[in-house]
Amino acid sequence: MKILIVSHEYPPIGGGGANACFYLSKSLVNNGHTVTVLTTGFEELVGEMNENGVNVIRLNTRRKSKTSSSFVEMFSYLKKAMKVAEVLHKKNHYDICQVFFGIPAGPIGLHLKRKFNLPYVVRMGGGDVPGFQKRFKYIYKLTNPFLRKIWKNANSLIANSEGLKRLALDFDRKSQIAVVHNGVNIHEFTPKHKENDEEINILFVSRLIERKGLQHIIPLLPEIKEKSNKKVVLTVVGGGPYCDYLIQLCKEYNVVDLVNFEGHKNHDQLLQYYQNADLFVLPSSKEGMPNVVLEAMSCGLPILMTKCEGSKELIQDNGFIINPSLKEQTVKNFTELINDKELRIKLGLNSRKLIENAYSLEKVVQSYESIYNRVMEVEENESTVTH
């Protein structure tokens, strides 16, 4: 099958959605499909290149940040990608178009379907679903009419968690939405025995933005330290506009010596951080299905995660759902894991089992292939009836 994937982010640019796109693209190629990814470039990383068998075309949209994209930059991608996608399809005659994020890439799929009758599938990632982020409410109002058309004309809609599906249905009750979780390479992200048992390493991996919630954990560190029977460190992996504020917060709470800011790391550098950690925290206010939590679980880490769209599916006797506003209970959750090695081991093993049973990359890719095959079958049947 010839597949065109349109996504405004693809590693090393972007976050969880970019990584999900990378995993899917690479796995589809490994399964014998021909895949082209049309995405955004960054600085010198512009042009057409072969990456792991995937034909990646990176457009020059003058994107200023590796980790985040403005609405103007997204529109710039859409404008350029629309024209390039048309040229690519005329040349390569794709069988299907996979859209990552209804906004900004959705109009590309809609355009190709209307002009060439190319079927398209939309994969929702979180921020592209109205209501996901309050700070985008005015942008949602602007884009909602277009998004309804994109969803209505799509051959299939995919949400990456049950929670995100519910949010999408709040926006459009008529939509038929399949749930396909993000997947993780369980052969790459594996547990590793940690030699140093005297220091507990709490790991946070994400963009440093307000929504990720790290600002709610830093003020709890003095009490966590006081009630722990081991030395505690918080390792922060990620970059973003909130970094300076978080560093200042560490100074205010006198925990500079407890927090290591590692900066942004490419995806292929993350494994060592997971394997050197003892537990993983992601205190986000909103998430679809966070890849970093899946990767941490695959590496056998117990999870501390706030209640959001994907947490109900991910936290199943392998960690705690926390509410940082309930400070006493949150500190207790941390210190229980820090002070009880057997509990950490038990919950970590449960994390790994859950990933192996439900979130392996192989199972996720099979789900996408099944959807593609159903779409192609319907298209062929309709074509036969028409003729």
Instruction: Supply the mean pLDDT for the chain.
Output: 92
Does the pLDDT value for residue 66 go beyond 90? Answer: no
For the stretch 155-170, pLDDT in tens is 999 999 888 999 999 9
Give the per-residue pLDDT at 378.
87
Does the pLDDT value for residue 387 go beyond 60? Answer: no
For the stretch 89-98, pLDDT in tens is 999 999 999 9
For the stretch 239-282, pLDDT in tens is 989 999 999 999 999 999 999 999 999 888 999 999 999 999 99
285 Cβ contact partners less than 8 Å away, ≥ 6 residues apart = 211, 213, 306, 308
Are 16 and 290 a contacting pair, CB within 8 Å?
Answer: yes
Say which residue the tokens 């010596």 belong to: 257
CATH code for the domain defined by 2-183+361-386: 3.40.50.2000
Per-residue pLDDT band at 321 (split at 50, 70, 90): very high
* Strand boundaries in 197-293, DSSP class E: 199-205, 231-237, 259-263, 279-282
- All CATH 3.40.50.2000 domain ranges of the chain, comma separated, are 2-183+361-386, 199-358
Overall fold of domain 199-358: Rossmann fold (3.40.50)
33 Cβ contact partners less than 8 Å away, ≥ 6 residues apart = 1, 2, 3
**DSSP conformational letter for 181:** -
- Bridge partners, residue 247, by sequence: none
The Cα 110–Cα 151 span in angstroms is 9
Is 111 strand, coil or helix?
Answer: helix
- Bridge partners, residue 353, by sequence: none
